């Protein structure tokens, strides 16, 4: 399908979520990585390592700073770029991915890949300052203003009234 889209002149950007798992908070069901080396896979509360840190609003935060989790993310995006030939990614809550210096943008396989960051999480708002110049940023405030305008919300900016030309 990606190759067919490319033949039609359409690039493929995947919207990916590498910031949390489906488990939710500490007392949620085990669906993915819970209990398999929590200290490596998840960011935990500084005062109680048995509880997840929640920078995502989803109850847990993957520990993208840990080499095992970073490898899982890289293996995944490498597959999508090398095997499936996608053109780029829009990373949900990408601030989770930039909490150390080893950013995805330094990976040679991703050198020509479009990287779009939703440049915030629950604690970091990095729009205008995200990582390096290799990243493009998703501007949620602009998106929300456009959505409000298109819906015709009463508090949105209204277009200027065009002059009426009679017959």
Question: What amino acid positions are annotated as catalytic residues?
Answer: 92, 118
**C-alpha distances in angstroms, 111 versus 19, 46, 91, 133?**
22, 35, 16, 12
96, exposed or middle or buried, with CB in 10 Å at 0-12, 13-18, 19+?
buried
Cα separation, 19 vs 62, in Å, equals 5
């Amino acid at each position: 399908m990606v190759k067919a889209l490319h033949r039609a002149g359409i690039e493929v950007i995947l919207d990916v979520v590498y910031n949390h798992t489906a488990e939710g908070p500490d007392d949620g069901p085990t669906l993915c990585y819970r209990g398999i080396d929590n200290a490596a896979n998840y960011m935990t509360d500084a005062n109680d390592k048995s509880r997840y840190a929640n920078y995502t609003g989803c109850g847990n935060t993957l520990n993208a700073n840990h080499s095992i989790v970073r490898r899982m993310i890289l293996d995944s995006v490498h597959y999508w770029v090398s095997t499936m030939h996608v053109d780029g990614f829009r990373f949900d809550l990408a601030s989770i991915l930039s909490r150390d210096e080893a950013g995805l943008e330094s990976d040679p396989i991703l050198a020509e890949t479009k990287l779009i960051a939703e440049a915030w999480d629950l604690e970091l708002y990095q729009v205008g300052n995200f990582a390096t110049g290799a990243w493009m940023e998703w501007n949620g405030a602009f998106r929300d203003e456009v959505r409000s305008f298109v819906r015709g919300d009463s508090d949105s900016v209204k277009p200027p009234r065009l002059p009426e030309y009679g017959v």
